[in-house]
Amino acid sequence: MSTDNKSLIKGALDVDPWLEPYSQPLIDRQLKFQKWYADLKSSETSLFQFASSYQTYGVHGNWDTKEVVVTQYVPDIQEVSLVGEFNNWDVSAHKLKKVNNFGLWSLTIPPVDGDFAIKHDSKYKISMKLPSGEQIYRLDPWLRRATPATETTLYEGRFWNPSPAETYKFKNKRATFNSTEGIRIYEAHIGISTPEPTVGSYKNFTENILPIIHKSGYNTIQLMAVMEHAYYASFGYQVTNFFAISSRFGTPEELKELIDTAHGLGIKVLLDVVHSHSSKNVEDGLNMFNGTDHYLFHGGPKGNHDLWDSRLFNYENHETLRFLLSNLKFFIDVYQFDGFRFDGVTSMMYKHHGLSFGFSGDYNEYFNPEWVDTDAVVYLMLAHQLLSEISEKEDGFKFFSIAEDVSGMPTLCLTIPEGGIGFDYRLSMAIPDMWIKILKHLSDEQWDLHSIVHTLTNRRYKEKCIAYCESHDQALVGDKTIAFWLMDKEMYTHMSVLSPLTPIIDRGLSLHKLIRLLTFGLGGEGYLNFEGNEFGHPEWLDFPRVGNNESYHYARRQFNLIKDDLLRYKFLYAFDAGMLSLDSKYGVLDKPQAYVSLKHEGDKVLVFERNGLLFVFNFHHSQSFPDYKIGVETAGTYQIVLNSDEAQYGGHDRIQEVDANGKPVQYFTNNDPWNNRSNSMMVYIPSRTAIVLQLKDKIKA
Q: Which DSSP letter does residue 297 get? A: B
Find the catalytic residue in 140, 404, 463, 583: 404
Find the catalytic residue in 156, 187, 343, 646: 343
Is residue 16 flagged as an active site residue? Answer: no
Contact status, residue 190 vs residue 246, Cβ threshold 8 Å: yes
What Å distances lie between residue 643 and 163, 169, 217, CA to CA?
Answer: 54, 44, 18
Query: Which residues on adjacent β-strands are paired with residue 550?
Result: none
Contact status, residue 325 vs residue 162, Cβ threshold 8 Å: no
How deeply is 2 buried, as exposed, middle or buried, from its count of CB atoms within 10 A (0-12, 13-18, 19+)? exposed
Contact status, residue 70 vs residue 109, Cβ threshold 8 Å: yes
| 228, amino acid identity | E
Per-position DSSP letters for 447-502, written without gaps between them: --HHHHHHHHH---TT--EEE-S--HHHHBBTB--HHHHHHTTTTTTS-BTTS---
Task: Count CB neighbours of 386 within 10 A.
Answer: 21
Spatial separation of the C-alpha atoms in residues 465 and 413, rounded to whole Å = 9
Contact status, residue 544 vs residue 552, Cβ threshold 8 Å: yes
Spatial separation of the C-alpha atoms in residues 139 and 123, rounded to whole Å = 10
Q: Which of 689, 695, 699, 509 is closest to 606 using CA atoms?
A: 689
Rounded to the nearest 5°, which phi and psi values hold at 84?
A: 175, -170
Spatial separation of the C-alpha atoms in residues 343 and 225, rounded to whole Å = 11
| 381, amino acid identity | M
Task: Count CB neighbours of 661 within 10 A.
Answer: 5
Q: Which DSSP letter does residue 80 get? A: E
Contact status, residue 343 vs residue 272, Cβ threshold 8 Å: yes
**Is residue 641 within a helix (H) or strand (E), and if so which, with residue range?**
strand 637-643
Residue 672, C-beta contacts closer than 8 angstroms, at least 6 positions apart: 679, 680
Spatial separation of the C-alpha atoms in residues 394 and 398, rounded to whole Å = 8
Residue 638, C-beta contacts closer than 8 angstroms, at least 6 positions apart: 614, 632, 666, 667, 668, 669, 681, 693, 694, 695, 696
Q: Which DSSP letter does residue 118 get? A: S
Q: Which of 687, 669, 686 is closest to 678 using CA atoms?
A: 669
Is residue 404 flagged as an active site residue? Answer: yes
Query: Which residues on adjacent β-strands are paired with residue 643?
Result: 691
Show which residues are catalytic: 343, 404
